[in-house]
């Protein structure tokens, strides 16, 4: 970089991002910068980059890049951008429309005492193989058996803006199982653009607990689109209802509910610190 650029570190239940405000600044080659900036030992360290830009058809535009440089959709990123825009005074209305790689997404600020909560419209879960994309033996991939790293599983795959595969288990995996199966399933031939892997324990009806492996990232403390995917899979398998699903990630708790066919995600989003890099 030829000049200093300001950034803001944000996080949602431990899912952390480096946010760049490009409303008045030019974009940079984010795909090539992401691996270096997201490196937790040699860079700033994060689960991805968030870029805030002007938009013609929405209030603002959001781009998100994984640590491997791939551009993606991000539910936690939506709420982190909303938190930044509200905290900086760039947007003070009770509703916000963000343009994303998956189209426009509506957000609502839930006013109350102190910092308002944020709820994001995550759209309609997609089960068709073309949307994921997937090329397995069934369409949709719901309750389909597959052996991964020598271990048999029954998986359910869908897209909530990005590809997710849910593995329902009586208990969450230990490190050995998690670290051997998750990357192998992420890159399995059934998923030409890879898939995130959600290990899901249904504790009681309507309450889930996750351990998360995100494509292009690795293990993360939370994933907004993954929370929505797990909730949708739980409803499909009769483990929850659409009125409210509570989902607990290692980094924090989320709530998912439906308005018609669309999912709404509620969860934390905070500004951590500001800095500059050259």
pLDDT at 2: 57
Q: Are residues 225 and 155 in the same domain?
A: yes
Question: Which residues are within 8 A (CB) of 180 and not within 5 positions of it... i.e. 6 or more apart?
Answer: 149
Establish if 127 belongs to a structural domain. Answer: no
**How many domains does the chain contain in total?**
2
Catalytic residue of the set 74, 80, 200, 249: 74
Q: Are residues 9 and 111 in the same domain?
A: yes
Average pLDDT over residues 224-246: 98
Q: Are residues 224 and 249 in the same domain?
A: yes
Query: Is 74 a catalytic site residue?
Result: yes
* Pick from 133, 141, 201: nearest CA to 163: 133
Establish if 198 belongs to a structural domain. Answer: yes
Q: What does the alpha-carbon distance between residue 135 and residue 119 come to, in Å, rounded to a whole number?
A: 33
Q: Are residues 156 and 72 in the same domain?
A: no
pTM, to two decimals: 0.94
pLDDT at 111: 78
Q: Are residues 90 and 146 in the same domain?
A: no
Catalytic residue of the set 38, 80, 200, 223: 223
* Pick from 66, 261, 79: nearest CA to 160: 261
Reported as a single tens digit per residue, the pLDDT across 75-128 is 999 999 999 999 999 999 999 999 999 999 999 998 776 677 899 999 999 999
Asked whether the predicted pLDDT for residue 184 surpasses 70, the reply is yes
* Pick from 237, 215, 242, 84: nearest CA to 161: 215
Helix (H, G, I), strand (E, B) or coil at 224: helix
98 in Cβ contact with 81 (< 8 Å): yes
Query: Is 223 a catalytic site residue?
Result: yes
Q: Are residues 19 and 48 in the same domain?
A: yes
pLDDT at 5: 93
Q: Are residues 53 and 99 in the same domain?
A: yes
Q: What does the alpha-carbon distance between residue 221 and residue 15 come to, in Å, rounded to a whole number?
A: 6
Q: Are residues 191 and 216 in the same domain?
A: yes
Q: Are residues 200 and 245 in the same domain?
A: yes
Asked whether the predicted pLDDT for residue 60 surpasses 90, the reply is yes
Please report which confidence band the pLDDT of residue 166 belongs to, taking 50, 70 and 90 as the band edges: very high
199 in Cβ contact with 170 (< 8 Å): no
pLDDT at 194: 98
Establish if 136 belongs to a structural domain. Answer: no
Establish if 137 belongs to a structural domain. Answer: no
Per-residue HEC secondary structure of the chain comes to CCCCEEEEEEEECCEEEEEEECCCCCCCCHHHHHHHHHCCCCCCCCCCEEEEECCCCCCEEEEEECCCCCEECCHHHHHHHHHHHHHCCCCCCCEEEEEECCEEEEEEEECCCCCCEEEEEEECCECCCCCCCCCCCCCCCEEEEEEECCEEEEEEEEECCCEEEEEECCCCCCHHHHHHHHHHHHCCCCCCCCCEEEEEEEEECCEEEEEEEECCCEEECCCHHHHHHHHHHHHHCCCCCCCCEEEEECCEEEEEEEECCEEEEEECCEEEEEEEEC
Q: Are residues 101 and 182 in the same domain?
A: no
Q: What does the alpha-carbon distance between residue 238 and residue 249 come to, in Å, rounded to a whole number?
A: 21
Q: Are residues 107 and 151 in the same domain?
A: no
The mean pLDDT of the chain is 96
Please report which confidence band the pLDDT of residue 278 belongs to, taking 50, 70 and 90 as the band edges: confident
Establish if 133 belongs to a structural domain. Answer: no
Containing domain of residue 84, as a range?
5-122+267-277
Establish if 135 belongs to a structural domain. Answer: no
Average pLDDT over residues 232-247: 98
Reported as a single tens digit per residue, the pLDDT across 2-52 is 578 999 999 999 999 999 999 999 999 999 999 999 999 999 999 999 999
Please report which confidence band the pLDDT of residue 153 belongs to, taking 50, 70 and 90 as the band edges: very high
Establish if 58 belongs to a structural domain. Answer: yes
* Pick from 127, 111, 129, 109: nearest CA to 119: 109
* Pick from 177, 161, 239: nearest CA to 213: 177
CATH at residue 146:
3.10.310.10
Average pLDDT over residues 123-135: 98
Establish if 39 belongs to a structural domain. Answer: yes
Q: Are residues 87 and 191 in the same domain?
A: no
Asked whether the predicted pLDDT for residue 1 surpasses 70, the reply is no
pLDDT at 114: 67
């Amino acid at each position: 970089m030829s000049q200093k650029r300001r950034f803001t570190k944000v996080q949602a239940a431990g899912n952390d991002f480096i946010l760049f405000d490009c409303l008045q600044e030019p974009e940079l080659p984010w795909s090539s910068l992401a691996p270096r900036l997201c490196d937790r030992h040699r860079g700033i360290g994060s689960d991805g980059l968030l870029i805030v830009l002007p938009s013609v058809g929405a209030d603002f535009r959001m781009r998100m890049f994984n640590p491997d440089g791939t551009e993606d959709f991000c539910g936690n990123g939506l709420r982190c951008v909303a938190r930044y825009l509200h905290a900086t005074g760039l947007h003070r209305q009770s509703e916000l429309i963000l343009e994303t790689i998956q189209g426009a997404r509506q957000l609502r600020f839930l006013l109350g005492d102190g910092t308002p909560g944020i709820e994001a419209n995550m759209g309609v879960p997609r089960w068709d193989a073309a949307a994921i994309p997937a090329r397995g033996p069934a369409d949709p991939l719901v309750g389909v058996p597959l052996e991964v790293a020598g271990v048999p599983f029954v998986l359910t795959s869908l897209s909530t803006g990005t590809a997710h595969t849910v593995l329902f288990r009586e208990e969450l995996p230990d490190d050995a199982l998690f670290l051997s199966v998750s990357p192998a399933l992420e890159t399995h031939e059934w998923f030409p653009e890879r898939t995130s892997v959600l290990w899901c324990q249904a504790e009681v009806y309507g309450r889930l607990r996750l351990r998360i492996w995100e494509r292009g990232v690795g293990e993360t403390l939370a994933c907004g689109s993954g929370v929505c995917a797990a909730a949708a899979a739980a409803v499909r398998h009769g483990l929850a209802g659409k009125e409210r699903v509570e989902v607990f990630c290692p980094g924090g708790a989320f709530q998912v509910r439906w308005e018609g066919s669309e999912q709404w995600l509620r969860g934390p989003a905070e500004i951590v610190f500001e800095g500059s890099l050259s």
